[in-house]
Amino acid sequence: MSEPTSAEILTEATRRRTFAIISHPDAGKTTLTEKFLLYGGALGNEAGTVKARGGRRSATSDWMELEQQRGISITSTVLQFPYRDHVINLLDTPGHRDFSEDTYRVLAAADAAVMVLDAAKGIEPQTLKLFEVCRDREIPILSFINKWDRPALQPLELLDDIEEQLGLTPTPLSWPVGADTEFRGVLDQRTGDFVRFTRTARGSTMAPEEVVEPDRARAEEGSLYEDAVDEVGLLEAVGSSYDEETFLAGVTTPVFFGSALTNFGVRLLLDAVVDLTPAPSAKAVPERDPRPLDAPFSGFVFKVQANMDKSHRDRTAFFRVCSGRFERGMVVTHESTGKPLATKYAHTAFGTDRETLDIAWPGDIVGLVNANDVRIGDTLWTDEQVEFAPIPSFAPQHFAIARVTDTSRFKQFRSGVTQLDEEGVVQVLRDPDIGDQAPVLAAVGPMQFEVATHRLENEFGAPVELSMTNYSVARRTDDGSRNELRAMQGVDVLQRADGTMLALFESPYWLDRLVAERPELTLEPLIAGSG
């Protein structure tokens, strides 16, 4: 295959939109994902194939079994589908109630986010946490107020909630006409049209849309239409109009109203993803100029997942293409080992299915099967060396001591724990004086422990017993402070595999006092979930 030209790479990159949906569980992320696929034509003409619940999902591994038992999605996948003349890469953030490091990492590969709110609930705890990660990364957010076909809060109340809880200025780009069972359609602020929708059976096919002229709208919808027009007039008067610059800076969020279930407003939202969210751009490189999109191939690993399919017993490293063209079979350099890496087994992951992938462009996500030495945060490249900044590891808040229950399985336990650490399932902390006997597993959310113990037992044949500790906060420390800290009550100092020393504290208040009273001790905060 001939080398791609700059123009070809830039054209392909410009067509890409790579984003994630963030929401609190039950707000409708799965439903909306499925409807995006429906509108992208990726489901044929009928929805209902992605969202598999209970017995409908076929179990391909223990991993999936755990998902099934919990009725949650633990594995993150990427869905790629065409829409208009664009290519959409939808990153799936894990949807469970518990927060895990995985979610942060997935957002590290996204250029934008769609925040889904339940119209009856507004901002919920998980939305807030995910939003904070987006804010840290300064990625632009579109907001979708979902379930407008049901009893909901007032639209202005929801806008206030976004403003007050997130500090984001909402700029509605669609406004609902009617609500609940009388939800008729939306005023599309981008065109000025009233778009009226029609329900379809179970929402399994696209909702027919009709642009209704104002006079007819008044005659047919009466006060539902007039009230909406008045409200929009008020909004315009207070200046909450869409503004590209502040949206891209993550200061304002365009808001859309709709119902994923009935497909109302889904097309308008997907159009906005294409029209408003940014295409991939040159990725920053520490202490150097960013790597241009049309430079030779480079990619950035943001997720490593083992055992997605038990019959393969494999390990898949997902990377985002940052520059150039990726071709399956090309030999790339794995920056952290300096070794060449063959890429014969490159895939896209679609739900739990895989498809072989031949070519990928900036913004696309590729899964490399059997990339055993590849770790989260690693850089892959060809022709011109580059190393992107690693994804930070996160400040854990839960700590548990792990012990193998059958000592004859200690070897398996040790290699399992090491692998889970490398994959970032949990962080593993050790006391250098004790070694591997009873490492402390550290996590951002307790669900990570469940996944770790399940995998240690089922994949490595090393059943473990976890004892939760009372530690609740970690700080980075060093050799100089270690001994003194260790002598204190309610404090321990342990080491990560990368050599970083973490001081663990039971009481955050006591830690604050110590920081204030003993400034000479090294106790660096691991800020905003990252460290």
- Interface with ligand G4P (CB under 6 A): 23, 25-31, 53, 95, 146-147, 149-150, 259-261
Alpha helices, DSSP H, located in 405-446: 410-423
HSE at residue 407, side-chain half, CA atoms within 13 A, is 2
Shortest CB 199 distance to ligand G4P, Å:
11
For 469, counting Cβ atoms within 10 Å of its Cβ (0-12 exposed, 13-18 middle, 19+ buried), the class is middle
CB-based contacts of 171: which residues, under 8 Å, 6+ apart?
240, 241, 242, 243, 247, 252, 253, 254, 255
Beta carbon nearer to ligand G4P, 29 or 325: 29
Shortest CB 21 distance to ligand G4P, Å:
8
Alpha helices, DSSP H, located in 16-124: 29-39, 62-70, 101-107
Contact by Cβ (8 Å): 303, 366: no
Shortest CB 35 distance to ligand G4P, Å:
9
Shortest CB 179 distance to ligand G4P, Å:
12
- Helix, strand, coil distribution of the chain in percent, nearest 5: 30, 30, 40
CA–CA gap between residue 364 and residue 88 (Å, rounded) = 9
Beta carbon nearer to ligand G4P, 257 or 505: 257
Beta carbon nearer to ligand G4P, 178 or 280: 178
Q: What is the 3-state secondary structure (H, E, C) of 219-231?
A: HHHCHHHHHHHHH
CA–CA gap between residue 139 and residue 171 (Å, rounded) = 16
Beta carbon nearer to ligand G4P, 146 or 333: 146
Beta carbon nearer to ligand G4P, 66 or 301: 66
Instruction: Kindly report the backbone phi and psi dihedral angles of residue 483, in degrees, each rounded to the nearest multiple of 5, phi listed first.
Output: -60, -40
Shortest CB 483 distance to ligand G4P, Å:
48
Residue 476: strand, helix, or coil: strand
Beta carbon nearer to ligand G4P, 144 or 449: 144
Beta carbon nearer to ligand G4P, 56 or 339: 56
> What DSSP string describes 292-343?
PTTSSPEEEEEEEEE-SSTTTT-EEEEEEEEES-EETT-EEEETTTTEEEE-
Number of residues written out for the chain: 531
Beta carbon nearer to ligand G4P, 30 or 382: 30
Bridge partners, 425 (sequence order): none
Shortest CB 152 distance to ligand G4P, Å:
10
Beta carbon nearer to ligand G4P, 145 or 444: 145
Q: How far apart are the first and last CA of the chain?
A: 42
Best CA proximity match to 51, nearest among 20, 95, 116: 95
Shortest CB 171 distance to ligand G4P, Å:
22
Beta carbon nearer to ligand G4P, 32 or 420: 32
HSE at residue 416, side-chain half, CA atoms within 13 A, is 25
Shortest CB 288 distance to ligand G4P, Å:
40
Shortest CB 230 distance to ligand G4P, Å:
25
Beta carbon nearer to ligand G4P, 172 or 424: 172
CB-based contacts of 496: which residues, under 8 Å, 6+ apart?
393, 427, 428, 429, 502
CB-based contacts of 249: which residues, under 8 Å, 6+ apart?
138, 140
Shortest CB 131 distance to ligand G4P, Å:
15
Shortest CB 523 distance to ligand G4P, Å:
38
